[in-house]
Structure 1
Amino acid sequence: MAAHRETPIGDTQEPRAVPGAWLVALRLIRWAREHWLLPIMLLAAVVRCYDLTAASIWFDEGSSVLLSQFSLADIWVRAAHDVHPPLYFMLLHGWIGLFGDGMLSIRSMSAIPGIITVGLGVWLVDLLATRRAALLAGLLLALLPTAVRYSQEVRMYALLGMWLIGATIALVYWVRQPRRHRYLVAYALLMTAAFYTHYFTALCVISHWLYLAAVRVQPGYRLRHIQRPAWWLANLAIALAYLPWVPNLVDLLQHIPELKASNDIGWEDPVTLVSLPSMVWSLLIQDDGGTFPVWLFMTLPLALLALIGVALRRDRSVFRGSLLLLCYSVVPILLVFVVSFISPVFIERYLTAYALGLPMLVALAIDRLYTGFRVLALAILVLFVGVELIGVKNNATVDSNDQFGVLVDYVNRHFTEGDRIVTSDMMWYLSYVYYNRTDAQIRLYTPNAADGHSTRPNAYGFGTLVSNDVYLDRLTDLPNGSGRVWLIGTLDEPNDFAALPEGWQRRSDMHAAGAFARLYQTPPDTGKPGG
């Protein structure tokens, strides 16, 4: 770095520019011009951290915590039998080691990536369009209800969004400067992390290749990036990095029947033509719109489609940023929708990472309308923000007194040494284990079916998290203890524990969040000896 020359005191000659000082001054000027980013990030943090611990841990979250408690080697093996790759659970394992397994801690591991993703979205749109469009995208991303929701769950969806938006930024930098191979290195690392986080990363690969193919054949200035050896090598590197997991994926695919039998997959409702507009409503207001009049039900999806058309139509950029966002968000949603007619997987949380592109497209449309149709652009912005605020409110509407954690806390407070606790199914078991503060082993009731076959989970899906000594085929197999048994089941399913042993007498009954906790006193001779 060249040294600067000082101006002597009293010298009337104007001092020459000082490079270091100018850099500082330029940073301050830029900061003064871009101070709007802080309120956007603060807004993103507030809506994601508000009532972060209000809703109880549900069974998917409970499975995340349970899997993360194993060693890293065991997580690799057990995740191989689960429906998700292992990276998120490994990171959660380390996070809990540092910050504990309290609700605030474990949910913060999703909230923080969710907040970071808003900043990444601003960065991406700033690369693709104007600073105003980036500001609008930040506002709409901060309030996107589906992103807020899954930034508050102990699952991998917020983390996946961070990886994929980060990878898309790296792709844009490389498209603009194809000789800078470091951008492809960053791209490969981020996409590899995404593949080890969720299998739906494959949709992002499709969207990026589709974008590069589209700009290769576009009229006018054609971008030939898809033909560059560096791009192919980057994708080959991703594939090679994923090879260690491929045998596990192949094994998992071969055991789809076991996963369906244990209800870990195949539980999704079949899709219909109205499922697509319903998904748009779910993403934006956390309600599928099924009770709305037909005209209203179709208005929002059609309006969103029109705005996407505006963003594409008015895009005069060389790199076609609107097309990239279309490929990133709309194409994966449509692909999953079509595939779901064969095998239903059209689930909101699976698509949340791709829904992040929708508010960015809306921001581009508003920005491009603002020049000639200012009032219309502002009206669209106000309406879209209003729709999102409805979704944020719906997401934040939680009755803290009607939560499963309240029910388990009741049992914890009234538990006496020697009490037995039995849950009726895996759904309640995975949540209950997280909240249990007693020394009792929580048992999972697995009575034989009417035809005599066992209802115990198999070694795939959630069954990989549970040891055999947890299962209880008959209530009479409970060992003797205090003579008291807590049964935890579904409130509207009175036959969760059909045919109770003779002589059991109900002593108390508590219910919350659709579940019940019933305390029974057993006769003195009930149960097997031993603790």
Structure 2
Amino acid sequence: MNTRLFRQASFLIILIIVSGLFIRIHHLGEESLWLDEGHSIRMAKLPVSQMVEEIAANKHPPVYFLALHGWISIFGDSEFSVRALSAIFGVLAIALLYQVASLLFDRTTSLLAALLLALSSFNLFYSQETRMYSLLTFLSLGSMYYFIKWLSGGKKWASVGYLVFSTLLIYTQNFGFFIILAQNIYLAGLLLHPRSRSGTPLKSWIILQSLLILFYLPWMGILIKQILTMDSGSWSVPRPSWKGLLYSFKCFSGSFWLLGISLPLAFYGVFPHPAGGDRGREDVVSARVITDRDSERICFLSIWLLSLVLIPFLISQFGSSIYVHRATVLATLPWYILVARGINRIRFRYLRLVIVIVIIGFSLFSIKEYFIK
């Protein structure tokens, strides 16, 4: 990318991040804390040893509560303060999604994906809530970022980054395991593909996954106990319906109107370009892409998305219900990249501009509705 394009991209991503920050701190401390937020604060105020004991009897791992414990000790426990931690991770996620998308596609797609996240009323809700889902979103992006870097050849630091983010991820919320599952499904697909098998570092990946299991061993027994008791009492999760699945995608988009726009764009983004590449491929921000083949990048995003939505949904249909609507916030990330790619593949410049303006307008309306409610 030349200097002018780099400056333009830098200006636009800064503008998007600042806009996302403004939206996330707007009215941040005005609403009273609700039940789950109060639970988070109560847990975070306990001495660390007692906190870990109580968390072990709960359904969530400890990282978020430990982070909130340290945050409250420095900044206090006002409504604004305790929610600000989630807002910060929500803003950082915008910047990190831009970086992840840049490893896969061109500059414009990356900017559009970041814009969709910045204006997402669904993500806004969790960025203004004293719960772990904003942190979970940020950590899942970090895990995916270093996974892609690792596949691209940056073994040493990418391995360290991957282990740090992935360990924190699965110690934050159990749904984080579906991110690890998506990575393993994709890598297994590469191993089964004759053209990709030779370049896939299987031994290194086995070592990484073994270390991840090793780091999680202290909590493994607690997780097993939680799984065995998940259908009892207040831990029971309602079995999702197909209508509920559609509702999740409506939330990803912001409204049914936006879903009507986003869904065809996402499908358009899924299908490989006839020429095997993207329009404006010369604008790629980073030379480190997950693959030179367009179909494999799309396959990666599809696995990422479906592992967080369809797999939990199917498990919930045939086994214990684990489909937690709020945890599907992680699926918004590949969804926004696919929608952004669909927009960027439209060849008519003014049509692309109109679509972006319409999406911004509907998104701002959804945000307005969110603040009114």
TM-score, normalised to structure 1's length? 0.62
- Name the SS of the counterpart of 2:58 in structure 1: coil
- Name the SS of the counterpart of 1:274 in structure 2: helix
> Which residue of structure 2 aligns with residue 306 of structure 1?
267
**Higher percent of residues as helix:** 2
Structure 1: 5+ residue stretches without partners: 1-25, 290-295, 399-531
Conserved in 1, the CA contact under 8 Å of 2:266 and 2:335? no
> Which residue of structure 1 aligns with residue 283 of structure 2?
none
Which has the higher Rg, Structure 1 or Structure 2? 1
> Which residue of structure 2 aligns with residue 403 of structure 1?
none
Conserved in 2, the CA contact under 8 Å of 1:333 and 1:351? yes
**Hey, what's the Cα distance between the residues in 1 that align with 2:68 and 2:326?**
19
Choose the corresponding residue for 1:390, options 354, 365, 368: 365
**Hey, what's the Cα distance between the residues in 1 that align with 2:125 and 2:245?**
20
Q: 1:109 to 1:177 in 2, by over 3 A?
A: same
Deviation string 1:466-486 (CA, Å, 9 cap, x unpaired) is xxxxxxxxxxxxxxxxxxxxx
Q: 1:394 to 1:184 in 2, by over 3 A?
A: same
| 1:46-445 alignment runs, 5 A limit | 46-177=22-153, 180-218=155-193, 221-222=195-196, 224=198, 226-256=200-230, 260-261=232-233, 263=234, 265-268=235-238, 270-285=239-254, 299=260, 302-303=263-264, 305-310=266-271, 316=277, 318=292, 320-341=296-317, 342-369=319-346, 372-398=347-373
**1:229 shift after superposition:** 1.0
Conserved in 2, the CA contact under 8 Å of 1:60 and 1:155? yes
Letter of the 1:306 counterpart: F
**Hey, what's the Cα distance between the residues in 2 that align with 1:392 and 1:171?**
32
**Hey, what's the Cα distance between the residues in 2 that align with 1:211 and 1:225?**
14
**1:302 shift after superposition:** 4.4
Q: 1:254 to 1:133 in 2, by over 3 A?
A: closer
Q: 1:313 to 1:345 in 2, by over 3 A?
A: farther
- Name the SS of the counterpart of 1:171 in structure 2: helix
**Higher percent of residues as strand:** 1
Conserved in 1, the CA contact under 8 Å of 2:230 and 2:236? no
| 1:480-519 alignment runs, 5 A limit | none
**1:216 shift after superposition:** 3.6
Q: Which has the higher contact order (CA 8 A, sep 6+)?
A: 2
**1:247 shift after superposition:** 1.5
Letter of the 1:61 counterpart: E
**1:374 shift after superposition:** 2.8
**Hey, what's the Cα distance between the residues in 2 that align with 1:226 and 1:344?**
35
Q: 1:33 to 1:393 in 2, by over 3 A?
A: closer
- Name the SS of the counterpart of 1:52 in structure 2: coil
Structure 2: 5+ residue stretches without partners: 278-290
**1:315 shift after superposition:** 5.8
Conserved in 2, the CA contact under 8 Å of 1:277 and 1:301? no
**Hey, what's the Cα distance between the residues in 1 that align with 2:348 and 2:357?**
14
**1:100 shift after superposition:** 0.5
**1:52 shift after superposition:** 0.9
Question: What percentage of aligned pairs have identical amino acids?
Answer: 26
**Hey, what's the Cα distance between the residues in 2 that align with 1:120 and 1:47?**
18
TM-score, normalised to structure 2's length? 0.87
Conserved in 2, the CA contact under 8 Å of 1:110 and 1:158? yes
